[in-house]
Structure 1
Amino acid sequence: MKTPPSSPRADRTDGPSVRIGALVPLTRPGWVEAGHHLLAGLELAVREVNDAGGIGGRPLELVVRDTAADPQKAAAAVEELARLGVAALAGEYHSVVARAAATRADALGLPYLCSSAVLDALIEQPTNGVSPARAEPRARGRVARLSPPQSRGWQIYADFLLGAGHSHIAVATQPSVYWASGTRILRDYFAAHGGTVTELDMSALAPTAVCDALVDTRATALLLLVGHPEPAVPIVKAVRRDQRLAGILMGAPAGQPEFAEWAASLGDDGAAIPFLRYLPERLTPLGARVEKALRERLSEAPSFVAFEGYDTVTVLADVLRSHGADRARIAESWPRLSVEGTRGQIQFSRTPGSSVWQWARPPIQVVDRDPAEPDRFRILHTG
């Protein structure tokens, strides 16, 4: 699926547009609701940039491509967008898809600001078409990211669990680079703190068998490292209805309970399931204004993903105003940027051995839906 390019309020600017390519999951098996929130943030920011005069008097245009959570489709979209002459690439929610897009963008010399994917190894090596033995020791610095790396966020989530007394946990997981990475982070962190992680393979277990395994292992928490709605919803319903597991905590560090679809699928059963959310306790004044505009645009409360989309365009617009649409100059600008976003001041740095310019301290919360009021979120832990 290709969605038509959008350039809101471009009538207020003159000259040829400055184009940004946007990768967004808009059809299944992608998380469509997350895609809609991401796109709402991207489009709102583009509209506001154009209302303020665009990029040096030229309209900013968003050229959107649907990834449908397909890495190959995303890589092909990157190649198409590069041929269309976009100045930079933005977006994507799914980590494995973003990795494919980042790897291809880097190889093509196309700057990419990833909005919402957290996988630590966001670029597959090598990125320059040579054998691993002769590969460059690091990427060429064309890729930057707003969302925190998975290792940082999931270790903060582990700290929350350990602080709440959950040292022996189980994870229900499916085959995926992303879920395997999360399991490894948790296993290593719990082992370093005297805890254990038991893996339950959902390609071999039914939800009722998960309940039996939880009883056998005596785990006090079950983390859902699985897709939504299947098999996450059946697992939650089975555990909630098993009286043997009345005291067990369920969690979803990947953030599934953030979205209204979760609450619609599970009702009260979907409350009290902690997840990671990348928002501060208080939004910036810019963030408060954007929150209102996003709520009107979405007809519901915006998720953190919508703010990530808005911040992505805000950063790229700042770069384009300062450095023009030259791809090399955009990529070179990452370490010198300091941009006010909806969730704080955005600056990029890179740790030794990393291939990605990273917003150093994006806000991280552990949050759940309040059982007494499932539409309200409770902040349980911050990092």
Structure 2
Amino acid sequence: MRYSSCLRAALTGAAMSVAALALPAFTLPAFAAEPIRIGELNSYKAQPAFLDPYRKGMQLAVKEINDAGGVNGRPLELISRDDGGNPGDAIRVAEDLVTREKVDLLAGTFLSHIGLAVSGFAGKRKVFFLAAEPLTDKLTWTDGNRYTFRLRPSTYMQVAMLLPAAKAAQRKRWAIVYPNYEYGQSAAATFKKLLKDAQPDVEFVEEQATPLGKIDAGPVAQAIADAKPDAVFNVLFGPDLAKFVREANTRGALEGTHVVSLLSGEPEYLDPLKDETPVGWVVTGYPWYAITTPEHMAFLSAYQKAYGDYPRLGSVVGYTTIKSIAAGLNKAGSTDSEKLVDAFRGLQVTGPFGPFSYRASDHQATMGAYVGILALKDGQGIMVQPSYVDGASVLPSDAEVKALRPATD
């Protein structure tokens, strides 16, 4: 396959020293105009696997934009802070960015409960906020507000992308395992509803809700094995996923089961599994080595040139976050929050996955995701048979959104 040589190069790159992968010193060109200050906050210490590449993606986009003359003649300046992985700390950080740092807008967040906290702050303070990563559906629906937009496909969208594989398997007895906080709870509830609507005779025979980052994987895997499901929906990610897969493999807990899994094809979470990769899982993810569209090839080339490393999904999200902000600022012709909100409603953006837009009805971007099957190649997990699912194809209609979202505009 065409991507095999890319994968070998990537694995070589992954073995490079930390010093070799240090962020390059991006020197900004001289500008006479005052910079546009982007206040960005995220759980960098708590979620480094995703957020270190995310930061690199942001910085690459800032450099490209500033090298091209900035936005309306003004350079972008990125002011990043760690939110501590705690909603209270995140609100304090957001307040500091707005009042002391005098940022023009807010962006970022990873964990869903953090995103909701910052969104609430943005709504009260009437500050524009682009939520880059948090996936909870509440962010753009039940808890949505005028000042918050979201880039990544939500839990509803990604579950809907996996639903065809779940339906096609025609399995009746399902188990679910998820991290017990807003994102996991939202994903599990959405999956149960959508699958039950599509397959009324389905049974959910086991449900394991684990503490984020503190999974006791042995008992969790054993409980699923004891329930004897013929299919499993997994929402775990990061170290929790790796521990669960190892215990499930050791105990044979998933033998003969059909597994669909959110996020497990993202390099951040797939690469650490190595030869323990669970072959045959249907997943959402990012097969960077197999995407040959012009937009992605240009991004891949620029990223590898800047960092000597292959991108992760976080890299795409960080890069596209900044590109979205630049497009919105350019359209608005201003940093005023009200004008930015109006500019983002229907905003057209082109990112590494191609063109997409931000819907006026719920402020959700239509950027999609890749769905594929996990396989092993040369001792490393990869996604095979990947296909891109346009986010617009799995979103409720504007009319349906009216019943989901408060009238905040």
Q: TM-score per shorter chain, which class? A: 0.7 to 0.9
* Higher mean C-alpha deviation, range 371-380 or range 171-180: 371-380
Structure 1 position 314, deviation (Å): 1.2
Checking the alignment, whether the CA contact within 8 Å between 2:159 and 2:190 is kept in structure 1 is yes
Q: Deviations along 1:62-89, whole A, 9 cap, x unmatched?
A: 0111124222222222111111222222
Equivalent residue for 1:196?
203
Checking the alignment, whether the CA contact within 8 Å between 1:102 and 1:123 is kept in structure 2 is no
Q: Deviations along 1:254-286, whole A, 9 cap, x unmatched?
A: x1452356533x321124244323689746523
Counterpart selection for 2:355 from 345, 370, 377? 345
Structure 1 position 146, deviation (Å): 1.5
SS at match of 1:241: helix
Q: Which letter does structure 2 place at the counterpart of 1:379? A: Q
Counterpart selection for 1:163 from 161, 168, 181? 168
Q: Deviations along 1:210-259, whole A, 9 cap, x unmatched?
A: 344334432123333345314x3332112112246432344431x14523
SS at match of 1:340: strand
Within-5 A mapping of 1:147-296 = 147-192=152-197, 193-194=199-200, 195-197=202-204, 198-202=206-210, 206-226=216-236, 228-230=238-240, 232-243=241-252, 245-253=254-262, 255-260=263-268, 262-264=270-272, 266-272=273-279, 273-277=281-285, 282=291, 284-296=293-305
- State the distance in 2 between where 1:298 and 1:33 align: 16
Pair 1:64-2:73 in alignment: no
Unaligned runs of 5+ in 2: 1-23, 390-409
Counterpart selection for 1:73 from 75, 86, 89? 89
Checking the alignment, whether the CA contact within 8 Å between 1:111 and 1:142 is kept in structure 2 is yes
Cα gap change, 1:71/1:205 in structure 2, threshold over 3 Å: closer, same or farther? closer
Cα gap change, 1:163/1:26 in structure 2, threshold over 3 Å: closer, same or farther? same
Cα gap change, 1:375/1:228 in structure 2, threshold over 3 Å: closer, same or farther? closer
Q: What stretches of structure 1 move > 6 A for 4+ residues in a row?
A: 123-126, 278-281
Cα gap change, 1:349/1:244 in structure 2, threshold over 3 Å: closer, same or farther? closer
Counterpart selection for 1:52 from 68, 71, 82? 68
Checking the alignment, whether the CA contact within 8 Å between 2:268 and 2:313 is kept in structure 1 is no
SS at match of 2:117: helix
Cα gap change, 1:205/1:168 in structure 2, threshold over 3 Å: closer, same or farther? farther
Q: Which letter does structure 2 place at the counterpart of 1:11? A: P
Checking the alignment, whether the CA contact within 8 Å between 2:283 and 2:374 is kept in structure 1 is no
Equivalent residue for 2:34?
16
Checking the alignment, whether the CA contact within 8 Å between 1:365 and 1:379 is kept in structure 2 is no
Structure 1 position 20, deviation (Å): 0.8
User: What RMSD in Å do the two structures reach over aligned CA positions?
Assistant: 2.9
SS at match of 1:287: helix
Cα gap change, 1:330/1:158 in structure 2, threshold over 3 Å: closer, same or farther? same
Cα gap change, 1:297/1:165 in structure 2, threshold over 3 Å: closer, same or farther? farther
Equivalent residue for 1:357?
363
Cα gap change, 1:164/1:186 in structure 2, threshold over 3 Å: closer, same or farther? same
Structure 1 position 116, deviation (Å): 1.9
- State the distance in 2 between where 1:185 and 1:125 align: 14
Structure 1 position 122, deviation (Å): 0.9
Normalised by the length of structure 2, the TM-score is 0.78
Pair 1:304-2:322 in alignment: no
Q: Which letter does structure 1 place at the counterpart of 2:355? A: Q
- State the distance in 2 between where 1:205 and 1:147 align: 26
Checking the alignment, whether the CA contact within 8 Å between 2:176 and 2:207 is kept in structure 1 is yes
- State the distance in 2 between where 1:163 and 1:381 align: 16
Checking the alignment, whether the CA contact within 8 Å between 1:8 and 1:50 is kept in structure 2 is no
Checking the alignment, whether the CA contact within 8 Å between 1:335 and 1:348 is kept in structure 2 is yes
Cα gap change, 1:219/1:8 in structure 2, threshold over 3 Å: closer, same or farther? same
Checking the alignment, whether the CA contact within 8 Å between 1:224 and 1:251 is kept in structure 2 is yes
Q: Which letter does structure 2 place at the counterpart of 1:163? A: A
- State the distance in 1 between where 2:253 and 2:116 align: 41
Pair 1:34-2:41 in alignment: no
- State the distance in 2 between where 1:244 and 1:144 align: 40
Cα gap change, 1:245/1:330 in structure 2, threshold over 3 Å: closer, same or farther? closer
